[in-house]
Amino acid sequence: MKLSLCEKIHIQEVCKSFNWKKDRLDVFLMKIFNHDEKLVKFSKRILTVFHGNSAVERGFSVNKECLVENLSEHSLISQRSVYCAVLSIGGLHKVSVTKSMIMAVRNASLKRMKALKQKRDEEHERQNKTKSR
């Protein structure tokens, strides 16, 4: 797009009459957009691209907030899944706590201990295999 827009007398007058202390920016832009259809199409495309990336960029900041020292990849994925699930139902205040959720929380420590024991056993088994070679 050329700077021909700036060369139009009407656009120059609109720009000169704009007072940033009194006038609203959206009204000013609409005065310019009303005289150039190409600028309207260009602006819509640019704003659509930025809006399309906003969800991805928001995800980066949410992941950054979840990161803590010594947090495993599996834990981060789990936290992110829970976060997305809570958002999808409309927020934390809309989560209904069921008996199965309560039981899952009660059993979580036991499951974690079993998983750690299994991991240790697998590590010992792997070490024994390397020693026997």
pLDDT digits (tens, 9 = 90+) for 45-85: 777 766 555 555 555 565 566 555 555 677 777 777 888 88
Quick check: 28 and 18 in contact, CB under 8 A?
A: yes
Q: φ and ψ at 48, to 5 degrees?
A: -65, -40
DSSP 58-86: HHHHHHHHH--TT--HHHHHHHHHHHHHH
Dump pLDDT digits (tens) for 10-55: 888 888 888 888 888 888 888 888 877 788 888 877 777 665 555 5
Strand, coil or helix: 24: coil
Q: In whole angstroms, what is the distance from residue 45 CA to residue 36 CA?
A: 15
